[in-house]
Copies of this chain bind each other. A is one copy, B any other.
Amino acid sequence: MERPPYVRLNFDSENSGRSLNVDQLVSVIKKQIISNTHFSGCRLPPVRALSHQLGVSKNTIQTAYDELRAQGVVESKDRSGFFVSGTAEARPFAAPINVPGPAFKNISYIGYVKPTQKNMISLSSVFVDPRILPKEKLTACFKSVLKSPGIPEFNDPQGFLPLREKIATRLRDRGMDVDASHIVITNGSQQAIDLVTRVLETKAIATEDPSYHLGKYLFEMNGIKTIGLPIDPFKGLDEKVWQDRLAENRPGLVYLTTNFQNPNGYSYSSAELSKIVQWSKEFNFGILEDDWGGEMLSYSEFKPGLRAMGGKNVLYLNSFTKKLLPSLRIGYLVANEKTIEPLLMAKRTSTSSTPGIIESVLFEFLDRGYYDTHLKFLQQELDIRYDNCLKLLRQYMPEDIKWTSPGGGPVLWIEFPRRIDLEMLVARLSERGVSVQLPTTAFFGKPHSHGFKIGYAFLSPSEMEEGIDKLSQEIRRQI
C-alpha cells in the first residue's frame, strides 16, 4: 500500500456538537490511538479536515497535534501530516486480518448460458429473436422520457401508477377482475414468483413436472417442498395422478403456466383449467398463474385463463421482458386488496423499487399504442416461423418422431423414441454448431418425456432449416 491509511477517530463521546478545546482533543485522540498497537504508521486526519468536522479553528487542531507529538504519540513527516508512532513489530494496518467467512447454504450456481453464442444455432431458446423486437421504438420512448418529464427522481415501490392503470385496463379487457391497486410492478416475472414465495405460509408448492427450473430452484432454496404434477406435452394433465398428488400432499399453492409452459411448451385447454379451478376449491390451495406466453399467440381473442376463471384470489403474473427486450427486466404481479400488502412489503425488503425510468418508458410505449402494434407484428412473425418450422419438421423428420402443434407462439416440443440417445444427440449437434438444452433437471426424477423444446421464435427460417436439417441427420445416424 503506497498511501498510509487514515485512522478514523470518534470525537462525539466528549462533546455535544459544541466546540472542543485543545486538552479535550488531545485526550480523545490519545485514548483511541494508544489502545491499538497496530495503528502505528497510520495517518491522523488532516488539520483542515478535523477543523471542518468539529467546527473549530485550524489553529486549535494544530496545537493539539503538536502536543501529541511532544508526548511522543504521533510523529510528523515532512509536510505530509501526522502519523501514529510505533514499534517495528506493530502489525501494519493495511494488511488484512483474515476473519471467518459467513456460512452459506450449499447452493451451486447453475451456469448461465448466453442465448446468443457466436456461430451457434440455439435450437431450444425460449427467447424471441432480438432482430424482431422493437428496439427502435423503445429507444424513441427512452428519448422522449429523457426529454420530458426526465428521469424520475423518486419512485413508488408499488410501481408507477399510470403504468399500473394501463396494465389493469388491459387485463380487464381480457376478462379479469383487476384494479391498479392490486398490481405490483416487478423486475420481470422471476421477481413476481419470488415475491409470492417470500410471503407464503405453506411449506409445499405443486408445479408442473417438468417444471420451470428457476421457479423450482427458488422454492427449494426457500425450504419449500415441491410436488411435481406431470404434464405430457401431447396429452396434457393426467387427471387421476394430479388428483391423487394434490389430495395426498395438500400443497398451499399451485404454480402453473397457462400458455407455453417452459420447457414443455404445453398450453392448457379450457377443460383442464376448469378442472384445476375445481380442485383448488376441493383441496384448498391457492393458485399462481404465470402467463408469460399468452400474448405471443396470434388469433388471441379473449381466452379465459386461471385468474379469469378462478376469480381474484388467483395470483397472476406476466412480463414484458421477452416480448420487448430481455435486458429490460420488467413485469408485474396481480393480487387483490387483501393480498397486496404482504407482497408490497416483500418488494420493499428485497429490491425496494423498480428503476423509475424503465417504468416510465414502458408506460410511454403502451400509451403510444406501440405495444399493441408490436404484438400484432410479433404474432404474425411468429406465425411465419411456426409454419416454417412445422413444414421443415414434416419434411425432414423420420416417421416415428412426433411434435406438438401449439399454433404459433415461441416454442413446441419434439419427442423421440426411447432408443434415441439424447445426450449423444446433443453432443454431436454441439460439434456441428447447433445447441440444444436438454431439460433433464426440470423433471422430478426420471424424465417421463424423451425430447426437448424447439424455439422457432429465436431463429430465422434459414437458421431453423439448418438446425432441423442437422438434427434430422444426427437422428438418422442413430436409427
Least Cβ–Cβ distance between A192 and chain B, in angstroms: 10
Query: In the complex the two chains form, is A345's CB within 8 Å of B102's CB?
Result: no
Instruction: Determine whether the beta carbon of A102 is less than 8 Å from that of B271.
Output: no
Instruction: Report, nearest first, the 9 A-B pairs whose CB atoms are least far apart.
Output: A102-B286, A53-B407, A16-B402, A327-B356, A96-B311, A49-B299, A17-B403, A101-B313, A10-B269
Shortest CB–CB separation between residue A217 and chain B, in angstroms? 5
* CB proximity of A259 to chain B, nearest CB, Å: 9
Q: Are A327 and B405 CB-contacts (below 8 A) given A109-B344, A301-B6?
A: no
Tell me whether A352 is interfacial, beta carbon within 8 Å: yes
Contact between A190 and B350 (Cβ–Cβ < 8 Å)? yes
A240 CB-CB contact with B under 8 Å: no
Nearest neighbor of A340 in chain B, beta-carbon distance? B109
* Interfacial chain B residues near A353, Cβ < 8 Å: 327, 329
> Are the C-beta atoms of A154 and B116 separated by less than 8 Å?
yes
Q: Does A447 reach chain B (CB closer than 8 Å)? A: no
A425 / chain B contacts, CB cutoff of 8 Å: none
Q: Is the CB of A13 within 8 A of B154?
A: no
Distance (Å) between the CB of A424 and the closest chain B CB? 23
Q: Mark A72-104, 1 if CB is under 8 A from B, else 0.
A: 000000000000000000000110111111111
Chain A 255-278 per-residue mask, 1 if CB under 8 angstroms from chain B, else 0: 000000000001111111110011
| Residue contact B302 to A5, C-beta cutoff 8 Å | yes
Q: Which residues of B contact A13 (CB under 8 A)?
A: 234-236
Tell yes or no: A427 within 8 A of B by CB.
Answer: no
Q: Which of A16-48 contact B (CB under 8 A)?
A: 16-18, 32-33, 35-36, 38-39, 42-43, 45-46, 48
Distance (whole angstroms) from the CB of A268 to the closest CB of chain B: 7
Asked if A142 CB lies within 8 Å of chain B CBs, one says yes
Q: Are B326 and A214 in contact (CB under 8 A)?
A: no
Q: How far is the CA of A233 from the CA of B280 in the complex (A)?
A: 54
Q: Are B339 and A355 in contact, with the CB atoms below 8 A?
A: no
Classify chain A's interface size: 35 or more
Q: Does A57 sit at the interface, judged by CB under 8 A?
A: no
> Which residues from chain B contact A311 at a C-beta distance below 8 Å?
96-99
Task: Give the residues in chain B near A325, CB-CB below 8 Å.
Answer: 151, 153
Is there contact, CB below 8 Å, between A188 and B351? yes
Q: Determine if A381 is an interface residue (Cβ-Cβ < 8 Å).
A: no
A198 within 8 A of B: yes
Stretch at the interface among A386-394, A428-436, A437-445, A468-476: A386-394
Which of A163-171, A199-207, A459-467 has 4 or more CB atoms under 8 Å from chain B? A199-207
Question: Taking A142-B142, A175-B94, A390-B17 as contacts, is the C-beta distance between A151 and B104 under 8 angstroms?
Answer: no
| Interface contact B280-A99, CB-CB below 8 Å | yes
Minimum distance in angstroms from A58 CB to a CB of chain B:
13
- Give 8 CB contacts A-B under 8 Å: A12-B406, A39-B271, A100-B313, A107-B199, A190-B351, A199-B221, A327-B357, A358-B358
